[in-house]
Amino acid sequence: MKVLVIDDEPVHVRGMIKHINWGKLGFDKVVGKHNAAEALRLLQEEPFDLVLTDINMPEISGLELIRRINLFGKQPGIIIVSGYNEFTYAQEAIRLGVCAYILKPVKPEEVEENVLLLAEKKQWNIMERDSKVEFALLNDILEEPVTDGTERKNLHPVITKILVYIGKNYTRDITVQELAEEFCMNESYLSVLFKKEIGINLSSYMQRYRINRAMELLKNSDMRISEIAYRVGYQNPCYFTEQFKKVFQITPSEVRKTTYL
């Protein structure tokens, strides 16, 4: 996918190209332009998936640029990056279908957050990992849970903290809202980021985590199955057995019989 960065100040263009990890966000081509006229000519020659533009530029303003882009057949996702915190600009941007309005100085994590939300809205495939890599990562995390002090270079730092939090609180129901409040994040962004990093959504991860902990207890303790169910957060032992079999294709009772052979 391709992204076009437009700002009449070269230092801002260089900064957004250099300090944002576009490759991680799924973009393999990043182009910078210093005026709207050049950007329009380029957009007429080749389509871009994402456009980041300033508002206050000579000759053609960012808002006028967006009006002209909207006349094109295939419209890219558009994010405004501006030093103007004025309601009238934001109001017009919304009317023109802009996806986000980010104030300078730009924080890379804020751009990433808005690009991921836009990706979900437009159903881009930037969040898809290679299925074999995804499966290996998930199993690695489940078999060796993330704890305090753990560092995983292949995971976003916030997701690492969330996994630690889940490991400490998995016996009760944890919601996206709770995690968003705990880690001061937007709920939608947290959901998208979690799925991007882990490969499955929060509720699916919680279920897998609980079932894996249950398997450990089945193999390494003499606790009753109903007690294990309660211990890992299931109030209904029958439902626990059903979910366990979905994951391992074997019932807890069958695991016990195999363990004691």
pLDDT digits (tens, 9 = 90+) for 98-143: 988 999 999 998 998 888 888 877 766 554 444 444 445 566 677 6
Least confident of 139-148, 208-217, 231-240, 251-260: 139-148
Average pLDDT over residues 160-169: 92
* Exposed/middle/buried for residue 17 (C-beta within 10 Å: 0-12, 13-18, 19+): middle
Domain count within the chain: 3
Average pLDDT over residues 62-86: 88
Domain end position, chosen among 153, 172, 200: 200
Angle of helix 202-220 relative to helix 252-259, nearest 10 degrees, comes to 30
Query: 59 and 25 share a domain?
Result: yes
Query: 155 and 251 share a domain?
Result: no
Q: What is the pLDDT of residue 134?
A: 47
Query: 30 and 116 share a domain?
Result: yes
Query: 215 and 191 share a domain?
Result: no
Query: 211 and 190 share a domain?
Result: no
Query: 118 and 6 share a domain?
Result: yes
pTM: 0.59
- State the Cα–Cα distance between residues 76 and 69, nearest whole angstrom: 8
What count of other Cβ atoms lies within 10 Å of the Cβ of residue 213?
19
Query: 43 and 111 share a domain?
Result: yes
Query: 17 and 79 share a domain?
Result: yes
Domain end position, chosen among 170, 200, 230: 200
Query: 195 and 228 share a domain?
Result: no
Are 7 and 61 within 8 A, CB to CB?
A: no
Domain end position, chosen among 70, 93, 122: 122
Which helix (H) or strand (E) segment is 6 a member of? Answer: strand 2-6
Query: 56 and 38 share a domain?
Result: yes
- The SS3 call for residue 110 is helix
Query: 112 and 138 share a domain?
Result: no
- CA-based torsion, 25, 28, 34, 38: positive or negative: negative
CATH number of the domain bearing residue 212: 1.10.10.60
Q: What is the pLDDT of residue 149?
A: 55
Average pLDDT over residues 50-54: 95
Query: 195 and 215 share a domain?
Result: no
Range of the domain at 41: 2-122
pLDDT at 165 over 90: yes
CATH number of the domain bearing residue 98: 3.40.50.2300
User: Measuring CA to CA, which residue among 200, 206, 138 is closest to residue 174?
Assistant: 206
